[in-house]
Amino acid sequence: MDIQELKYIKKCQEGELESFAYIYDKYINKIYKYIYYRMPDKYISEDLTSQTFIKALKSISLYNKDKGSFSSWLYKIAKNNLADYYRTYKNNLDINDLWYLEDDTNIEVAADKDFKLDKVKKYLNKLNKEQKEIVILRVWDELSYSEISEIVQKSEASCKMMFSRSLEKLKQEMPIGLYLLLVLNI
In a domain, 18, yes or no: yes
Secondary structure (H, E, C), the chain: CCHHHHHHHHHHHCCCHHHHHHHHHHHHHHHHHHHHHHCCCHHHHHHHHHHHHHHHHHCHHHCCHHHCCHHHHHHHHHHHHHHHHHHHHHHHCCHHHHCCCCCCCCHHHHHHHHHHHHHHHHHHCCCCHHHHHHHHHHHCCCCCHHHHHHHHCCCHHHHHHHHHHHHHHHHHHCCHHHHHHHHHCC
Co-location of 65 and 121 in the same domain: no
In a domain, 55, yes or no: yes
Q: Which of 63, 91, 119 is the last residue of a domain?
A: 91
In a domain, 99, yes or no: no
Inter-residue contact 169 to 127 (CB < 8 Å): yes
For 25-29, what is the mean pLDDT?
92
In a domain, 138, yes or no: yes
pLDDT at residue 106 tops 70: no
Nearest CA to 71 out of 109, 29, 43, 102 is that of: 29
Average pLDDT, the chain: 80
Q: Residues 16, 35, 159, 184: is their CA dihedral positive or negative?
A: negative
Co-location of 115 and 180 in the same domain: yes
Co-location of 41 and 115 in the same domain: no
Co-location of 7 and 73 in the same domain: yes
CATH of the domain at 82: 1.10.1740.10
pTM here is 0.66
Nearest CA to 136 out of 156, 155, 117 is that of: 117
Report the 10 Å Cβ neighbour count for 2: 9
For 90-94, what is the mean pLDDT?
55
Q: Which of 91, 125, 140 is the last residue of a domain?
A: 91
Q: What is the pLDDT of residue 39?
A: 78
Residue scoring higher pLDDT (95 or 10):
10
For 90-106, what is the mean pLDDT?
45
Q: Which of 42, 68, 91 is the last residue of a domain?
A: 91
Give the model's confidence band at 90: pLDDT under 50 very low, under 70 low, under 90 confident, else very high: low
Range of the domain at 28: 3-91
Co-location of 120 and 48 in the same domain: no
In a domain, 98, yes or no: no
User: For 36-57, how does the pLDDT look when each residue is reduced to its tens digit (9 = 90+)?
Assistant: 878 767 888 999 999 999 999 9
User: For 111-164, how does the pLDDT look when each residue is reduced to its tens digit (9 = 90+)?
Assistant: 444 555 667 778 888 889 889 888 888 887 788 899 899 888 899 999 999 999
User: For 47-88, how does the pLDDT look when each residue is reduced to its tens digit (9 = 90+)?
Assistant: 999 999 999 999 999 998 888 889 889 999 998 998 888 888
